Structure 1
Amino acid sequence: MSDTDKKTVIVFTDGACSGNPGPGGWGALLQWNGQEKEITGGAPDTTNNRMEMRAVIEALNALNQPCHVKIHSDSALIVNAFKQGWVDGWLKRGWKKTNKKPVENRDLWEEMLTAMQPHDVEWIKVKGHSDNERNNRVDRLAVEASRKFQQS
């Protein structure tokens, strides 16, 4: 399938954690052709970064065909890792950062790279907790999902 034949899907993702580490949740909003789909999940003992990453992975895995995906995230770590080429450097150095320390959450970075493979992914950084309604919406989804894992 050529790039011009691919559907363009707009995705907003966010993660939340009550404590870091602690109970966490993630949320994603997928929009295509006037339709929307919300997906959420979480974990009882996780970190905010892991939930941010899980949201992206699950959004990509929810797509049933190769797409042009515009991922909007307020995670500077995720957006910069791709837009500034950090992931390429980590791969060249065997999953080590420039300071020779191992990259945190390698398992999820690898899972994300696999989930990205069929797609043409465009990364868009959005300001968190601001006036972006769709980002605020996925933030609410992530917080609600995290509550399911908190002790009552």
Structure 2
Amino acid sequence: MNAFTDAPSGRRLVVHCDGACVPNPGPGGWAATIKLMDGDQEISRTEVVGSEPAKTTNVRMEMSGAIGALRALPEDDGTPVAVFCDNQMVSRGMNEWLSGWIARGWRTAANKPVANPDLWQELAVLTTGRAVTWHWVKGHAGDPHNEEVDALANAAAAKAMRQAQAG
């Protein structure tokens, strides 16, 4: 049970996001769903999908799914946002590591450059001042919301592969 998603009342935005590459690294796709909820009632729903026909990585596409969702959110009115993703790098990065990376000038605790700093920096900007919580869900484990964005991301990655082969 999750106190955030199982709340009986209150408006909140619930985001599910995912990314995929075919192969990894290779052309990629990402997807997210954004649901405005009031209690257990869905008020509105938005899907955002994107792709990258150039060579990219699964992690970059996972991060791009979160970025695409955050960019598509309505203007901040104080509504809390919960982001669910199946990539622990993204959820742990946002929950555990981000503040340390920023304090160390985008370097890890081992004093190595952070991978994908451009995307981490964008995530930091997009979440500044918003009430955003990050949650990891196990991928390919039957969560219908995760399975939905996984299918959308894989379709976007397949489209990117076709574009790359045609280009």
Provide the TM-score with structure 1 as the length reference: 0.91
Match for 1:29 among 23, 33, 49?
33
Measure, in 2, the Cα distance between the counterparts of 1:46 and 1:53: 12
Matches within 5 A, 1:1-152: 7-33=11-37, 34=42, 35-44=44-53, 45-66=55-76, 67-84=79-96, 86-150=97-161, 151=165
Shift of 1:118: 4.0
Measure, in 2, the Cα distance between the counterparts of 1:116 and 1:136: 25
* Structure 1, unpaired ranges of 5+: 1-5
| Partner in structure 2 of residue 3 of structure 1 | none
| CA offset digits 1:109-131 (Å, max 9, x no partner) | 01111111242101111000111
Shift of 1:107: 0.3
Measure, in 1, the Cα distance between the counterparts of 2:133 and 2:11: 13
* Structure 2, unpaired ranges of 5+: 1-9
- Partner SS, residue 110 of structure 2: coil
Shift of 1:83: 2.1
Q: Percent identity?
A: 40
Measure, in 2, the Cα distance between the counterparts of 1:24 and 1:134: 20
Of structures 1 and 2, the one scoring higher in RCO (CA 8 A, sep 6+) is: 1
- Partner SS, residue 149 of structure 1: helix
Letter in 2 for 1:51: M
Measure, in 2, the Cα distance between the counterparts of 1:80 and 1:117: 17
- Partner SS, residue 75 of structure 2: coil
- Partner SS, residue 148 of structure 1: helix
Measure, in 2, the Cα distance between the counterparts of 1:89 and 1:15: 25
Measure, in 2, the Cα distance between the counterparts of 1:114 and 1:81: 14
Runs of 4+ deviating beyond 2 Å: none
RMSD of the alignment, in Å? 1.4
